[in-house]
Amino acid sequence: MNESRRQFLTAGSVTCSAAWLAAGVRGARSFAGEPASPKGSRADIELTLRAAPGRVSVNGKPTQVWRFEGHLDAGPSDALTASEGYLGPIIRARPGQRIVVRFQNHLDEPSIVHWHGLDVSAENDGHPRLAVPGGGTYAYDFRIANRPGTYWYHPHAHQRTGAQVHAGLAGLLIVEDDQAKGNLPSGANDLPFVLQDRQIDSNGQFIYNPNAMTGFLGDLILVNGKPTPTFNVKAGTYRLRLLNGSNARIYKLGWSDGSAMVVIGSDGGLLEAPVRKPYVMLAPGERVEIWADFGKAPVGPDVWLESRSFAGGTGGMMGMMGMSGGMGRGMGRGMGMGMGMAGTSGGPPNGSRFRVCRFVVTGTGERLPLPRTLSRLQFRSDREVVNLGSPRRFDVTMAMMRWTLNGRTFGMDDLAPNERIRKGTTEDWEFSNLVGMMAMPHPIHIHGGQFQIVDRAVAPGAGPAVDSVREGRVEEGWKDTFLLMPGERVRVRVRFEHHAGLFLYHCHNLEHEDMGMMRNFRVEV
């Protein structure tokens, strides 16, 4: 794209941004001047979502970003609310609602939007083969078949997912209904936390310098686009919805006062009942919902959400280098992790310890009792599994210094014999990460809906890495992404019920994904 067109687009996005970013601005017409919806449409929510260059303040200076800007064309005013920083607007929908999204690509490269965690048809899933060029549009039309929960959206362009998400393209999609909301903190006590890491140069610009093995690891932790922020809260109960929207960074989240993390939800919505864990692992793509009572635990007035150290965070040689450095100790407030890692670009390795954000507690707030039960989960029983005891196997492998799955990299239409599954059948799939010394953690994500985790096993010798994260796993609820540690074998139970077609499974370390640690599978009737 030439310079004048770039400026035009940038200027255009500035001109429109006031109207676009304002929450709940409703217009009968989209900005392009076309009617927002075809006559006779019965969608519950209609919106225009565009990916465009923009400029925001991250740590003082204006930072060039790419961001999603949304415009609500029809639907309730709370269906779209502006986010902080560069993040896309929060989309709020209810189970069963039909949503029409007109995506407009104002970047100078192909892009497409994926609705992470949602059970939508292949045409609505944002497969890279559906990417539209700069200036192009893509029309989505789907129904919310998911349970209430915290989902998200991000680009899924061929070999550019990491760069586009890193540039700022990501947003939350929250599915809620009154019943699920009923006895949980809501409104100002229901807070989203999008965790990301970045590196910023002295001019305030994001540096994208991913490492070929580990992916992009920044030295500055951002929550909702702000560096290690402080949240002012009341001594009351809160529902914290945490998304790891980082490209490659894995968090081991705990409270600085040593309180347990009270977990109420996972990728696919509420658990059956709250569970207490000393810390919670959150790998890229995963979500977790935490109950916090700032009058009791964690107790104020000054408490941090921190990420603790764990083993096995980096593969092979780099792991050893990383472990010897004592990274991240004594990090200054608001300064992220301080030191970079000599010899590699970017921030400290996975498994380093750092602070995420601070909570300052003032005044008393609304307090709700922690419910004893949260929701009903209907997991798939052994009896319905067609391959019980002999799961479909997917091994993490390495070929030509790239991470692969069963020895294969991504090909746009590639399908191996073991990548075809019958619609409506329940199967066990087993992922193993047994590449020895070089092994590193991989967050594995499967498109097409939610699954349950049925089993984990550890290879001899892989104990320390797995032991250092074990108690932080949230596997009591529905999942669409799980952390596969070095030396681990994880069995999940899947069923693709509603839609036939081509879907993806991949590592959600976005650089691994972009380098080919992704494959198609086809749901067949």
Residues of the shown chain interacting with ligand C2O in the complex, contacts defined by CB under 6 A: 114, 116, 154, 156, 285, 445, 447, 504, 506, 508
Closest CA to 250 of 117, 404, 442: 442
CB of 150 to ligand C2O, least distance (A): 13
CB of 492 to Cu ion, least distance (A): 14
Q: Could you count the other beta carbons within 10 Å of the beta carbon of residue 465?
A: 23
The site partner of 507 among Cu ion, ligand C2O, none (C-beta below 5 to 8 Å per kind) is Cu ion
The site partner of 358 among ligand C2O, Cu ion, none (C-beta below 5 to 8 Å per kind) is none
Q: Which of 165, 167, 507, 523 binds Cu ion (CB under 5 A)?
A: 507
Contact 493, 454 (CB under 8 A): yes
Query: Is the CB of 229 or the CB of 285 nearer to ligand C2O?
Result: 285
Query: Is the CB of 341 or the CB of 494 nearer to ligand C2O?
Result: 494
Span between the terminal Cα atoms of the chain, in Å:
43
Stretches 166-174, 194-202, 276-284, 442-450: which one binds Cu ion (CB under 5 A)?
A: 442-450
Query: Is the CB of 50 or the CB of 519 nearer to ligand C2O?
Result: 519
CB of 77 to ligand C2O, least distance (A): 28
CB of 431 to Cu ion, least distance (A): 11
The site partner of 512 among ligand C2O, Cu ion, none (C-beta below 5 to 8 Å per kind) is Cu ion
- How many angstroms from the chain centroid is the CA of residue 460? 31
Q: Is 213 in the site for Cu ion (CB under 5 A)?
A: no
Element (H, E) at 88: none
The site partner of 509 among ligand C2O, Cu ion, none (C-beta below 5 to 8 Å per kind) is Cu ion
Contact 232, 188 (CB under 8 A): no
Stretches 88-96, 97-105, 254-262, 500-508: which one binds Cu ion (CB under 5 A)?
A: 500-508
Closest CA to 117 of 303, 266, 248: 266
Closest CA to 219 of 350, 323, 75: 350
- d(C-alpha 411, C-alpha 415), whole Å: 8
Q: Could you count the other beta carbons within 10 Å of the beta carbon of residue 458?
A: 16
Touching Cu ion, residues 100-139 (CB under 5 A) = 116
Q: Which of 50, 491, 512, 519 binds Cu ion (CB under 5 A)?
A: 512
CB of 178 to ligand C2O, least distance (A): 28
Q: Which of 63, 350, 509, 520 binds Cu ion (CB under 5 A)?
A: 509
Return the residue nearest ligand C2O (CB atom). 116
- The two three-digit tokens of residue 453, written as one number: 């985790």
Touching Cu ion, residues 447-486 (CB under 5 A) = 447
CB of 22 to ligand C2O, least distance (A): 28
Contact 100, 45 (CB under 8 A): yes
Q: What pairs with residue 171 in β-bridges?
A: 153
The site partner of 102 among ligand C2O, Cu ion, none (C-beta below 5 to 8 Å per kind) is none
Longest CA–CA span in the chain (Å) reads 64
Q: What is the CA radius of gyration of the chain?
A: 22
Q: Is 442 in the site for Cu ion (CB under 5 A)?
A: yes
The site partner of 504 among ligand C2O, Cu ion, none (C-beta below 5 to 8 Å per kind) is ligand C2O
Query: Is the CB of 154 or the CB of 489 nearer to ligand C2O?
Result: 154
Pairing of strands 481-484, 501-507: unpaired
Matching residue, tokens 């690891």:
217
Phi/psi of residue 169, nearest 5 degrees = -85, 100
- The two three-digit tokens of residue 213, written as one number: 């093995």
CB of 502 to ligand C2O, least distance (A): 12
- d(C-alpha 506, C-alpha 512), whole Å: 9
Closest CA to 118 of 97, 88, 132, 103: 97
Query: Is the CB of 91 or the CB of 303 nearer to ligand C2O?
Result: 91
- The two three-digit tokens of residue 343, written as one number: 């010899």
CB of 127 to ligand C2O, least distance (A): 9
- d(C-alpha 180, C-alpha 178), whole Å: 6
What torsion do the CA atoms of 467, 279, 263, 503 make, to the nearest 10 degrees?
A: -60
Query: Is the CB of 147 or the CB of 512 nearer to Cu ion?
Result: 512
Stretches 10-18, 177-185, 333-341, 503-511: which one binds Cu ion (CB under 5 A)?
A: 503-511
- Fill in the DSSP letter of residue 202: T
Touching Cu ion, residues 219-238 (CB under 5 A) = none
String of DSSP letters for 324-385? HTTTTTTPPTTSTT----TTSSSSPPTT--EEEEEEEEEEE----PPPS------PPPGGGB
Query: Is the CB of 63 or the CB of 509 nearer to Cu ion?
Result: 509
- The two three-digit tokens of residue 33, written as one number: 């001047």
Q: Is 353 in the site for Cu ion (CB under 5 A)?
A: no
**∠ CA 119-124-128, rounded to 5°:** 110
CB of 414 to Cu ion, least distance (A): 18
Query: Is the CB of 116 or the CB of 241 nearer to ligand C2O?
Result: 116
CB of 483 to Cu ion, least distance (A): 10
Q: Which amino acid is at 73?
A: D
CB of 431 to ligand C2O, least distance (A): 15
Residues binding Cu ion (CB under 5 A): 116, 442, 447, 507, 509, 512
